[in-house]
Each structure stands twice: as C-alpha cells, then as structure tokens.
C-alpha cells in the first residue's frame, strides 16, 4: 500500500530503540562502530546476543525480545548499518565515552516496552542533566551520574545510544512506526504512521500520551511536503532489506514493527525492530 490511514492505529509495544553497535566479525562502516577500549567485550556481547533463541508466540510467527540481538543482525548488512545510531552496552566507562563523543545520549532497557525506563542524558555546563519521564535532574560528574541512574535502572540490563535530534511537529519530536507482516510466503506493509510525543516528554509512545498522524502528515509538517514521497519510499526499502536480514538470522519471524526517526536534516534512523508489534 502506498498510503496508510491514520486510523490504522496500533498501540506501541516497545520503546523506540537501537542496540549494540558492533559487527559480528569486523567493524561496520561509518560511525556505527567507533573504536573503544573494551572492543573484545562488546564483540562477545553481540555474539551472545545472536545466539539467543526465538520464543514461540501466539500466532503470527516467533518473537525475539532482545534489542541487542536484533540490531546485531541488522548491523551485518552494509546498507542498514549506517542507519543504526551508535550504541553500546551500559557501563560507566561507556557512558563517559559516549557523552564525550556525542554530547547527548539515551539509555534504555535491553528488554522493555512502552518507553518505560528510558532516560535522556546531556552535557550541561561542567556537569550533566538527565531526564526520566518529565523530570530533569543534574549530576556534577559521570561517577555521580552513574550512581544516580542505578536506582532508575532497577537491576535491568541497559544500553546507551547516541541521542538523535529528531525533526519536530510543534516543537515535539516525531518518529514513525512501520508494520510489516508475512502473509503466506510474502511480506506485506500493513501500516505506516507518525507518532508525536506528548508535550513535555521526549518519548513518542502512544501509551505515554503520544498522538498519531499519517506518515505523510508527519513528514510534511516536520520537514517538507516535498520529501514525503522519497522518505516513505526509503523507509519501505529499509524495511524490506532489514526484514530479509532478520529472517535469514532468525527463521520463523512473521510480524515486524519498525520504529524509524528522521533527524532535522532528513536522515532516517532505525531505533528498534519489534517482532510482536501491536
């Protein structure tokens, strides 16, 4: 389908996200895999992710909850890797490195839904600010920031992702959900919608108060009506390539929900791929 109506709504089931920016056997092109001091640990982390089994679901194919495993598979494709924001497993050392390199990062649970537990962190003067839900606090150093984040993580495994300055609608960030479903032996597009964050929040999840538009409305209002056709075509192309890469790695998947973001320059980023989208 070329156009998707706004009333083809579905609640978001997982927070937009990316995962571990490391390839299986060698670094991926571009900034997806910057050199780090613990590259061997990251490689082992990704290889472990790729070995995780899929779990049987109630119809519609099989599911994989680990964001790191899905993204590691996508990073193996050279056309997809440049669209994955640089991301690292959460450690204090990686937090320090990512903040030094990017200035703004988002940390999120490796397994999570609905934007719960997602935290935005920015350098602020000589210290840092971090926003959880709609509340922003400050920390004077990375060690104090790390200590402050621990209770919010609640013992869950986290990842750190480069923050992307998304295009906005009325000053609120917007991203896109593309639902792609296998019907027999063929994959089909089922919906493509824009999701605008609730005022005061940086996550766009509908269950967190985000609002929904058609993809055409979102692209037109956040960037330009001249870009609607090309950006929708690019998201569809990335979806097809990504689905092929994921199916080759994880046979049995049958439903995919892609969370895309367009930054202020119009570049498309893949934040998350859900194997059981709603």
pLDDT of residue 25: 26
Q: How far is residue 125 from each of residues 84, 142, 208, measured CA to CA in Å?
A: 28, 13, 30
Residue 154 sits in the same domain as residue 171 = no
Q: Count of domains in the chain?
A: 2
pLDDT of residue 14: 29
Residue 149 sits in the same domain as residue 173 = no
pLDDT of residue 5: 31
pLDDT of residue 275: 82
Question: For residue range 98-126, what is the model confidence (pLDDT) as tens digits?
Answer: 999 999 999 988 887 666 788 999 999 89
Write the DSSP string, 212-264.
EEEHHHHHHHHT-GGGHHHHHHHHHHHHHHHHHHHHHHSTTB-EEEEEEEEBT
Rounded Cα distance between 117 and 107, Å, is 8
pLDDT of residue 63: 60
Residue 11, in any domain of the structure: no
**Domain ends where: 142, 162, 182?**
162
Residue 42 sits in the same domain as residue 146 = yes
**Domain ends where: 162, 188, 208?**
162
Which CATH number characterizes residue 236's domain? 3.30.470.20
- Are 245 and 80 in contact, with CB atoms under 8 Å apart? yes
Rounded Cα distance between 54 and 109, Å, is 19
- Return the DSSP state at 64: -
Q: 155 is in which domain, residue-wise?
A: 30-74+81-162
pLDDT of residue 48: 53
Q: Tell me the whole-structure pTM to 2 decimals.
A: 0.76
Task: Kindly report the backbone phi and psi dihedral angles of residue 144, in degrees, each rounded to the nearest multiple of 5, phi listed first.
Answer: -70, -35
- Return the DSSP state at 206: G
Residue 14, in any domain of the structure: no
Residue 110 sits in the same domain as residue 191 = no
pLDDT of residue 256: 93
Q: Is 40 exposed, middle or buried (0-12, 13-18, 19+ CB in 10 A)?
A: exposed
* Per-residue pLDDT in tens (0 to 9) along the chain, 278 residues: 333 333 232 223 222 333 333 322 222 222 233 333 343 444 454 445 445 444 444 445 556 677 878 888 888 899 999 999 987 889 999 999 999 999 999 998 888 766 678 899 999 989 999 988 878 899 999 999 999 999 999 999 998 989 999 999 999 999 999 999 999 999 999 999 999 888 767 665 555 556 788 999 999 999 999 999 999 999 999 999 999 999 998 888 899 999 999 999 999 999 989 887 66
Residue 132 sits in the same domain as residue 216 = no
Residue 3, in any domain of the structure: no
Residue 16, in any domain of the structure: no
Task: Look up residue 171 and give its two tokens.
Answer: 């000053």
Rounded Cα distance between 264 and 198, Å, is 19
Question: For residue range 184-207, what is the model confidence (pLDDT) as tens digits?
Answer: 999 999 999 999 888 767 665 555
Residue 87, in any domain of the structure: yes
User: Pick from 130, 140, 83, 70: which is nearest to 106 by CA?
Assistant: 130
């Amino acid at each position: 389908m070329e156009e998707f109506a706004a009333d083809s709504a579905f609640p978001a089931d997982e927070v937009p996200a990316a995962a571990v920016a490391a390839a299986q056997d060698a670094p991926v092109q571009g900034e997806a895999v910057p050199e780090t001091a613990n590259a061997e640990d990251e490689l082992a982390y990704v290889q472990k992710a790729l070995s995780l089994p899929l779990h049987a679901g109630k119809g519609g194919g099989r599911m994989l909850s680990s964001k790191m495993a899905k993204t590691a598979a996508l990073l193996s494709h050279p056309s997809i890797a440049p669209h994955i924001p640089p991301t690292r497993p959460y450690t204090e050392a990686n937090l320090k490195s990512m903040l030094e390199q990017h200035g703004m990062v988002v940390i999120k649970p490796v397994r999570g839904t609905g934007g719960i537990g997602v935290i935005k962190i920015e350098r602020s003067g000589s210290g840092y600010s971090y926003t959880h839900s709609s509340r922003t606090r400050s920390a004077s150093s990375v060690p104090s920031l790390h200590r402050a984040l621990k209770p919010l993580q609640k013992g869950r495994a986290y990842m750190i992702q480069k923050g992307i300055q998304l295009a906005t609608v009325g000053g609120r960030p917007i991203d896109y959900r593309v639902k792609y479903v296998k019907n027999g032996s063929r994959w089909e597009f089922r919906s493509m919608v824009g999701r605008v964050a609730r005022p005061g929040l940086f996550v766009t999840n509908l269950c967190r108060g985000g609002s929904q538009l058609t993809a055409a409305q979102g692209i037109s209002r956040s960037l330009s009506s001249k870009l609607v056709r090309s950006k929708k075509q690019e998201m569809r192309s990335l979806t097809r390539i990504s689905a092929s890469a994921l199916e080759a790695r994880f046979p049995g998947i049958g439903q995919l929900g892609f969370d895309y973001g367009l930054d202020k320059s119009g570049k498309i980023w893949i934040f998350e791929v859900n194997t059981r989208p709603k």
